[in-house]
Each structure stands twice: as structure tokens, then as C-alpha cells.
Copies of this chain bind each other. A is one copy, B any other.
Amino acid sequence: MFYLGDEIATIKLMPQLRQNIITGEWVVIAPERAKRPSDFVSAESPKPSLGENCPFCLDNELYKKESLSEFETKDIYVIPNSFPAFVEDPQNCSPRSFKVEDGFYTTRPSTGGHDVIIIKKHNLQIFGFAEHIWEDLFLVAKRRYSYYRKDCNVRYSMLIYNQGARAGASIYHPHAQLMASNIIPNQISKEIHGSQSYFEENGTCVFCDLLAHEKKQRLRVVEETESFLVFTFYAARFPFETWVVPKRHSAHFEQQQVSLLRELGQLMKRVIGKLDANLKSPALNFYLHDSPATVGKADYFHWHLEIVPRVSTYGGYELGSGTIIDVLSPEEAAKYLRQKSA
């Protein structure tokens, strides 16, 4: 039995958003993703399952049942996550669904959507994606962003990728995920507030200024194309943390033209190839930041991708202080990444 606040249930439960009463930050409690507390006993880093019984190799029956075929391409399926952190809104956009639990804590249902964007070919890791797979990945994501943008309940969509067990991947079969949430995630709130106050102070977009600075200084630049600059981030939270930023100011990912997303796909193949060549297939994540679905034009915000190799382990200071100790300078990281291409 799971206890979720005042509700007790034995079967699949709604995931629940809970607010930290001290800091105001949200977490999602999604207990259906784990079976029992004892599953955590002697927990090693998860070993991604290989081979047969792969849940992402869809047989005909599953394909018919699960696949969102209007979003399918030659190389990619989209299916709903079977263990969603955000579920379809049962209240259909009721104006306010906050709840004070036991007269003290603030909670609400964790609603929205949770897609798995599956590369059809089982035996392919991110380092082996062909250009057309990369291109398709961003085109499919654009269509799913547009889809969720029309959902009156969704406040934010985020495309993410987990490569390798150390980066949180629990299934070997290559797949991205898209989380569409009824809240603005904590980190996005911080970026929005920060970039808004930068705009108020300077009258410019902080990302545009950052681009101009990095482009001029070139200490941290890893790669450049007509429309994108790729550089290691000055205040990196991870060794080799690498940002991919479009040169033209735009707040919303799903408004980008197909040609730009094709350029992004081709570029990502090269950037991930560089990480592979220089770090030998590191575990890594990437994720996309853009402006919330509820915001129209935003002079202060600028969509971008962040890539974070998982080659270090946070200790108690990082978790307790929130102040990350990064043991590699971003300048040295960029220099190293410029050495070899895939």
C-alpha cells in the first residue's frame, strides 16, 4: 500500500506534486515508478536491460495500442510513458487544483503528459545516430511541443535525453522523453526570473549578450555553424557542460523552422560525436530550455539546449549547499573538446 497524503490505495496512483514548504520548490512524488521500498536495497547504478522483452521494441499489438502514429516518422515512434510523472488531467483544466494537505502542506495532482520518443532501431546508442535520426528527433519534438501548447492544462514542456545508466537511463533501447507539466519547473522559474531582471537592468536578452561575449572571446567555444554557437558554460555545474544556443533571438522552440531544426540535428550529431571521440562514450543527458507555453513573445528569454556529461559524482556539499564544485575549468574542457571530432 502506498500512502499519499490522506489517500490510501493499493493500485496505480496519480503522481503528486508537492511543494517544499521552506523553499517553495516543487517535487513530483511518483511512487508507481518503483514497486516497493525494498527495491532500493543494495541499489547499484541501474543496469539498462538489453535484448529480448524490450518494452520499446513494439510488436504489432503494442504498436496499435500505444503508438501515436500521427507523430511517427520512418525512424521514430512516440508512445505515452507507462509510468508517467505527469498524467492526463482528469479535471480537464479546472481553474485551480491546489490543495492544502492536512491544513499544512501544499500539493496538487501532477498532470500534463509524459511521452517516450523512441528511436525504432533497438541496437543503436546516441553516439551512432545518423543525421536523419537527429533531424527527425527535433522535428517530432517540435510537433509534440505544439500539441501540448494547445493543452489548457500544460504550463511547460521539456525534451530530455538520458544516455547510459549513470545518466539515469533504465532502458537500453534509445529514447528521448518529453515531460509536459502543469507547473513551471523550478530551474526554469529561476532562469525566467534571472533573465527578466537582466532585461529590466540592461534592456537586452542575457542569452544574446552571452552569445556575443563567447563569440568574441572564444575561450569556451567548441563549435560554430551559421545559426548556432556551441560553448562550455562559464559557471558550469558539470565537467564538459556544453550549451547549444541559436544565434537568432527566439523564445519558443516549437516556433523554429524546419530548416533550422535540421541544422540543429546535424550539429548535435557532431557535438555528441566530439564528446564520444574525446570522452569515449560518456553517460550524458541533454535537455531543452525554452519559454513557457503560456508566454507569448519574450524579449528576455532565448531557447537553447544544454548537454551534461555524467563523469563526476555529486557529494554532500553539492546536495546540501546547492553550490556545485566543478573540478574542471570550462576553458580547459572546451580546449580538450576541440581536439578530436568523431
Asked if A289 is at the interface (CB within 8 A of a chain B CB), the reply is yes
With known contacts A20-B235, A23-B194, A311-B40, A316–B28 Cβ distance under 8 A = no
Asked if A98 is at the interface (CB within 8 A of a chain B CB), the reply is no
Cβ distance A134 to chain B, nearest Cβ, rounded Å = 16
Tell me the bound Cα distance from A324 to B15 in angstroms: 12
Q: Is the interface of A mostly helix, strand, loop or mixed?
A: mixed
Select A237's contact among B27, B105, B336, beta carbons within 8 Å: B27
CB neighbours of A237 from chain B (8 A): 27, 319
Asked if A242 is at the interface (CB within 8 A of a chain B CB), the reply is no
Cβ distance A206 to chain B, nearest Cβ, rounded Å = 6
CB neighbours of A2 from chain B (8 A): 329, 331-332
Tell me the bound Cα distance from A158 to B166 in angstroms: 27
B165 engages A328 (CB within 8 Å): no
B43 engages A320 (CB within 8 Å): no
CB neighbours of A287 from chain B (8 A): 316-317, 319-321
State the A residues within 8 Å of B (CB): 1-5, 15, 18-31, 33-34, 37-38, 40-43, 45-46, 85, 102, 104-105, 158, 160-162, 165-169, 177, 179, 181, 183, 185-188, 190-191, 193-195, 198, 206-207, 209-210, 213, 217, 219, 234-237, 239-240, 278-282, 285-289, 306, 308-309, 311-333, 335-336
